[in-house]
Amino acid sequence: MDTTATPESASTPIGPRPVLQVEDLTQDFGGLRALNELDLTVNEGEIVALIGPNGAGKTTFFNCVTGIYTPTEGRVYLYDAQKRRRLLNGRKPHDITAMGMARTFQNIRLFGDMTVLENVMIGRHCRTSTGIWGALTRTPAARREEQETIDISYDLLESVHLAQFWNERAHNLPYGAQRRLEIARALATNPRMLLLDEPAAGKNPQETKELEELVRHLRDSRDLSILLIEHDMGMVMSLSDRIYVMEYGSRIASGTPEEVRANPRVIQAYLGESDDA
């Protein structure tokens, strides 16, 4: 029987260590099956892409994994830093965030009238311990924790090249900068697993190239595992270690970028027929 926290078996052979493990994930909405027995694994240090046509179920998958939806069937596990497997089914989104998984959204969800720095500081909420009384009375511990939150948030803004805008209202940022601010706010939760929902949407080619470099840097400098939904195939193919392909809620292919690019079913369903088909 699965438990909410189980250590890996001592007899498990050394190899890629999973951070996110999804088994037989199914999501029904009434008579509609949006996800059909999906399996997916993201290992430590990997950048994995989840691709598919519009309506394939990619964002529904993210919503199930992060606790916004409760899956109809299947299991979702997150491995912690001690390699313990934690069952996520039935947990609230804020609990899953506190366990080490953060995400961005397809539609930007910033607090537009708050400053850029304040938006990132909000992301630190799950990592702070000051209660209402400490905040009201401004105890020394509360002041130290607040300064630590400011320092960490500013460092995150530097990592996504937004430090110069720290006191600007979030809604005044250009679209691409707002996307980077969402990433910084997600990183403020100190995740092991980061989910990015169409991070290149609305970006021009130069901005997309800079985003690729940023994602790689964040993965390497913060020991992150990353799962992204993305429609920019150039970015997907150059950035990803592995790719999963969905169609109508089911997985139709998976593998390295080279394997997926050459898969006839993927070419037909997603990338378009080849010229000599």
Whether residue 8 is found in the same domain as residue 119:
no
Whether residue 60 is found in the same domain as residue 147:
no
CATH number of the domain residue 30 falls in: 3.40.50.300
Whether residue 1 is found in the same domain as residue 94:
yes
Whether residue 76 is found in the same domain as residue 198:
yes
Tokens in use for 255?
Answer: 């593998």
Choosing from 190, 219, 238, the residue where a domain stops is 190
Q: Are 74 and 28 in contact (CB under 8 A)?
A: no
Whether residue 94 is found in the same domain as residue 137:
no
Whether residue 113 is found in the same domain as residue 87:
no
- Phi then psi for residue 185, to 5 deg, are -65, -40
Reference 192, options 84, 71, 61, 102; nearest CA is 102
> What region does 49 belong to: left with phi over 0, alpha with psi -120 to 50, or beta?
beta
Q: What pLDDT was estimated at residue 156?
A: 96
Whether residue 122 is found in the same domain as residue 239:
no
Whether residue 45 is found in the same domain as residue 67:
yes
Whether residue 161 is found in the same domain as residue 60:
no
User: Which residues span the domain enclosing 150?
Assistant: 109-190
Whether residue 118 is found in the same domain as residue 197:
no
Q: Taking the CA of residue 61 as centre, how many other CA atoms within 13 Å lie in the half-sphere pointing to its CB?
A: 35
- Give the separation between CA 90 and CA 2, rounded to whole angstroms: 14
Whether residue 203 is found in the same domain as residue 127:
no
Choosing from 161, 190, 219, the residue where a domain stops is 190
pLDDT digit string (tens) for the chain, length 277 residues: 454 555 544 444 467 899 999 999 999 999 999 999 999 999 999 999 999 988 899 999 999 999 999 999 999 999 998 889 999 999 999 999 999 999 999 888 899 999 999 999 998 876 665 555 455 566 777 778 788 889 999 999 999 999 999 999 999 999 889 999 999 999 999 999 999 999 998 888 999 999 999 999 999 999 999 999 999 999 999 999 999 999 999 999 999 999 999 999 888 876 554 444 3
Query: What is the reported pTM?
Result: 0.85
